[in-house]
Amino acid sequence: MNRRSFLGAATTGLAMAQTARDQPARLRDIRQPLAITMWDFSWLERRWSGAGYENWDFILDELIRRGYNAVRIDAFPHLVAAAPERTWELLPVWTQQAWGSPAKNRVRIQPGLNQFIRKCGDRGLKVGLSTWFRQDADNTRMKIHTAEDHGRIWKTTLDSIAADGLLKHLLYVDLCNEFPLDIWAPFLPKGLKRASPAGAQWMRGAIAVVRKAYPDLEYTFSMTSEYDTWRQQDVSMLDFLELHLWMTQWSDFYKQVNYNYERFSPKGYDNLQERAKPLYLSKPQYWQSKLKDGIRFGENWSRASGLPLITTECWSVVDYKDWPLLTWDWIKELCEVGVRSAAATGRWVAMGTSNFCGPQFAGMWRDEAWHQEMTKVIHASPAQIRKTNSIKSS
């Protein structure tokens, strides 16, 4: 694929990488890594009064002031392909988390998607497209039966973006969040593993459809599972690895806290209130070392595959929110360790500071100085991705 060079640009006094205005980004050409945030499906769903995303201009300006220059959002491709301007009724994926809507909600994808991308582009922000395949009242996502179906809905979505001349603002396309977890992709064959030939074939088939139509874009499937079999996994169809990495994946922290990803019960947060911070403070260097183990894993996979890294969900715990008896100080401490450790490897071309970098997480969002310091570290880090010995199969 033809690689395009990045042009340097300055935004709010910080050195930032920015692609040429008329071409999509080429990740291997990035020399100043991007600071990226995950706004998932919140960018569209959380627009009721006080939810944080009511005024896109305001929050995008705030994002830039904090030093970020990229954002990852849900493009709702299955709904765009079905009826882009229909008002869709969405069902909550949880009631306990602050991402998206904790109750039934209604949204229109287009023209909002293109309007949001344009606002990002006007500010020099790059947009990573992803999808959590949100469930609507008709469960439209279950109409996906094959990898080709999966690719076609994304092609239709990209067609709608290209029609408004907005492809130049895209950083990449992640065809499925945390593939192949059934919470996000219940349409997949039951028990499908990414490490299996069938899993690789699905990824390859879906990407082939969009790559044929839009060969200058970068494609991936983001990941958070099956890390123990990484050496056996075929990732040759991917342009980069989008690995989600937290301290809790590399330790028994959640087991000791007795947090079990409860989506509709407050029990998990009750246990976080009582046990999480005291457990971390009992041996912070140990928990930080577990996070560094995960970062070394990502670095090793990147070097072995020859693929650059992006991480948009990271570094402390998976789930957290503004809540009584929950403070952000220890979360920020862990996230700083993650940012500095990952930045030092030279393998990341874009990374987040946490998966809580959004206006709905007020305690994290309001610490503007912390974000500026962390994004400065990201922008100043090396990104020198070179083709190395590859574990990829043909």
Give per-residue pLDDT as tens, 204-244: 999 999 999 999 999 999 999 999 999 999 999 999 999 99
Q: What is the CATH number of the domain that holds 113?
A: 3.20.20.80
Residue 311 has pLDDT above 80, yes or no: yes
Report DSSP letters for 44-60, one per residue. Answer: HH--STTSS-S-HHHHH
Give per-residue pLDDT as tens, 255-301: 999 999 999 999 999 999 999 999 999 999 999 999 999 999 999 99
Decide if 164 contacts 118 (C-beta within 8 A). yes
- Look at residue 22 and tell me if it is in a domain: yes
Q: Which two tokens stand for residue 320?
A: 């957290």
- Look at residue 153 and tell me if it is in a domain: yes
- Look at residue 86 and tell me if it is in a domain: yes
SS3 at position 377: helix
Decide if 268 contacts 261 (C-beta within 8 A). yes
CB atoms within 10 A of CB 308: 25
pLDDT score at 266: 98
Pairing between β-strand 70-74 and β-strand 126-130 as defined by DSSP bridges: parallel
Range of the domain at 117: 6-380
Residue 302 has pLDDT above 90, yes or no: yes
pLDDT score at 29: 75
pLDDT score at 27: 83
- Look at residue 21 and tell me if it is in a domain: yes
Residue 393 has pLDDT above 60, yes or no: no
Residue 28 has pLDDT above 80, yes or no: no
- Look at residue 263 and tell me if it is in a domain: yes
pLDDT tier for residue 24 given thresholds of 50, 70 and 90: low
pLDDT score at 387: 46
Tracing tokens 């996906």 back to the chain, one arrives at 144
- Look at residue 149 and tell me if it is in a domain: yes
72: amino acid identity, one letter: R
Lowest mean pLDDT among 5-9, 265-269, 355-359: 5-9
CA angle (108 as vertex; 124, 86 as ends), nearest 5: 135
- Look at residue 392 and tell me if it is in a domain: no
DSSP summary character for residue 251:
S
- Look at residue 251 and tell me if it is in a domain: yes
Residue 43 has pLDDT above 70, yes or no: yes
DSSP summary character for residue 5:
P
Q: Which residues share a beta bridge with 309?
A: 241, 348
Q: Which residues contact 390 (CB under 8 A, 6 or more apart)?
A: 236, 304, 305, 306
The total domain count for the chain is 1
